[in-house]
């Protein structure tokens, strides 16, 4: 599928480009040296993952995503929650890798679940995970320096088990038809389930066509190039089962261009505030303007989030000013700044106290209760 680039793209979108460039530059400058920068980055991961599902028409509660990520689910995870957690893991992989890794063929292969065997990705080198896991041995072989290494190893082991199952089923089908009919080809064996693959939809060719637009985007201002790449992703639809990857690649592109380097931009937070009629308009100029406005709104909301977190941090630190040096309250403050919501179990696990002690710490700190439920209580920063 071909994507046409307008001849007067810069002239028609000049004002929106300048506004988006200014907002993101201000956000990057403040987030890079802000006292709550680490908490801002961690909270943004959860909000952007939930926003990606919201843009796709699905509702995922951020508190459920936080608990699912901590392996403390209060109920069985839904299909949408599983996808949101996949978005969260992909964001973390992109952030821990080199700035241009996600846009490279090797990075896209890893993000698509097709990790190359010969050339391990940068994230695999950082986490110590091998490109061909041995199921259980890779789960135990982890790098103690990276807290996410165990999760990545478990993901790689699950992918290996699924691939072996597909290969076994393809072999069984080949044995069944070998006696009477023709043996299925490799492409037919790959799509023998009929649900995972579509022969008429060549994802590899569409993804290569989308990557060919990156040099053209590099000749434009960073925000305008990112908007053009996202519009091309929406129109070409390279990946049908991972369409949410487009928003993450936009953030990775801005990081590779050096526009936003202090964090991985939460593009979906601004995108979900844009009306559907503008995002899916038939007019290309309307869509590009909508995506530029989404970038500007993301920068504006990011600045407000920094101010809000800094005010909450100041107020909580005033409560622990005269506490003893070995108090657990500073650790609780750090947790509240890095998670949209916390539960008693999450506080107990992070701080190293009992759940009863966690409730006492939350009460002393004066955190706001967010859920209002009797069986499940959560606290956060309003």
| For residue 43, pLDDT beyond 50 | yes
Q: Please give the pLDDT value at position 137.
A: 43
Please, where are the H alpha helices in 212-283?
214-218, 222-236, 245-256, 267-271, 276-279
What pLDDT, in 10s, does the model give residues 257-281? Answer: 999 999 999 999 999 999 999 999 9
Q: Please give the pLDDT value at position 374.
A: 55
Nearest to 131 by CA among 165, 91, 102, 160: 160
Distance, CA of 76 to CA of 116 (rounded, Å): 33
Q: How many CB atoms lie within 10 A of CB 207?
A: 19
pLDDT band at residue 152 using 50, 70 and 90 as cut-offs: confident
Distance, CA of 378 to CA of 368 (rounded, Å): 8
Name the token pair of 328.
């657990």
DSSP letter at 373?
A: -
What are φ and ψ of residue 211, in 5° steps?
-65, -25
Q: What is the mean pLDDT of residues 277-287?
A: 91
Nearest to 65 by CA among 98, 42, 88: 88
Distances (CA, A) of 174 to 1, 177, 334: 34, 6, 56
Domain 320-380 class? mainly alpha
pTM of the model: 0.75
What pLDDT, in 10s, does the model give residues 301-327? Answer: 999 999 999 998 998 888 878 777 778
Q: Please give the pLDDT value at position 202.
A: 78
| For residue 375, pLDDT beyond 80 | no
| For residue 30, pLDDT beyond 90 | yes
Distance, CA of 234 to CA of 228 (rounded, Å): 10
pLDDT band at residue 134 using 50, 70 and 90 as cut-offs: very low
| For residue 144, pLDDT beyond 70 | no
Name the token pair of 217.
């985007």
Helix, strand, coil percent content, the chain, rounded in steps of 5: 60, 0, 35
Contacts 24+ apart (CB under 8 A), 33-36: 34/306, 34/310, 35/310, 35/313, 36/306, 36/309, 36/310, 36/313, 36/337
Query: Per mean pLDDT, which of 29-43, 109-123, 341-355 is the most reliable?
Result: 29-43
Q: What is the DSSP string of 294-339?
A: HHHHHHHHHHHHHHHHHHHHHHHHHHTTTS-TT-SHHHHHHHHHH-
Give 100's contacts (C-beta < 8 A, 6+ positions apart).
Answer: 252, 256
Question: Where exactly are the structural domains of the chain?
Answer: 9-304, 320-380
Q: Which class for 289: exposed (0-12), middle (13-18), buried (19 or more C-beta within 10 A)?
A: buried
| For residue 57, pLDDT beyond 60 | yes
Helix H or strand E segment including 38: helix 37-55
Distances (CA, A) of 223 to 159, 226, 326: 35, 5, 46
Q: Please give the pLDDT value at position 257.
A: 93
């Amino acid at each position: 599928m071909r994507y046409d680039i307008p001849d007067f793209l810069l002239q028609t979108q000049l004002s929106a480009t300048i506004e988006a460039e200014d907002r993101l530059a201000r956000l990057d400058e403040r987030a890079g040296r802000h006292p709550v920068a680490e908490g801002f980055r961690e909270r943004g991961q959860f909000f952007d993952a939930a926003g990606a599902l919201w843009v796709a028409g699905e509702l995922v509660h951020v508190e459920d995503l936080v608990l699912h990520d901590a392996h403390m689910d209060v109920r069985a995870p839904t299909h949408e929650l599983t996808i949101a957690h996949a978005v969260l893991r992909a964001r973390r992989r992109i952030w821990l890798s080199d700035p241009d890794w996600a846009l490279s063929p090797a990075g896209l292969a890893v993000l698509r679940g097709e990790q190359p065997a010969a050339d391990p990705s940068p994230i695999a080198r950082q986490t110590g995970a091998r490109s061909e896991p041995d199921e259980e041995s890779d789960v135990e072989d982890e790098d103690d320096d990276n807290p996410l290494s165990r999760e990545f190893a478990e993901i790689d082991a699950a992918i290996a088990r699924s691939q072996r199952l597909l290969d076994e089923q393809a072999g069984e089908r080949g044995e069944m038809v070998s006696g009477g009919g023709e043996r299925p080809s490799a492409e037919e064996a790959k799509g023998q389930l009929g649900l995972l693959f579509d022969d008429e939809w060549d994802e590899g060719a569409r993804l290569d066509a989308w990557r060919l637009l990156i040099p053209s985007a590099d000749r434009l201002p960073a925000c305008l190039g990112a908007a053009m790449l996202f519009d091309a992703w929406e129109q070409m639809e390279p990946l049908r089962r991972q369409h949410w990857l487009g928003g993450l690649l936009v953030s990775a592109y801005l990081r590779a261009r050096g526009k936003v380097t202090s964090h991985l931009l939460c593009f979906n937070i601004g995108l979900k505030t844009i009306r559907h009629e503008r995002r899916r308009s038939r007019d290309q100029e309307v869509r590009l303007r909508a995506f530029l406005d989404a970038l500007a709104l993301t920068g504006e909301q990011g600045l407000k989030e920094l101010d809000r977190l800094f005010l909450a941090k100041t107020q909580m630190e005033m409560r622990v000013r005269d506490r003893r040096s070995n108090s657990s309250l500073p650790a609780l403050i750090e947790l509240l700044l890095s998670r949209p919501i916390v539960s008693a179990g999450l506080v107990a696990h992070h701080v190293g106290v009992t759940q009863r002690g966690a409730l006492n710490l939350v009460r002393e700190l004066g955190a706001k209760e967010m859920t209002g439920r009797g069986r499940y209580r959560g606290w956060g920063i309003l």
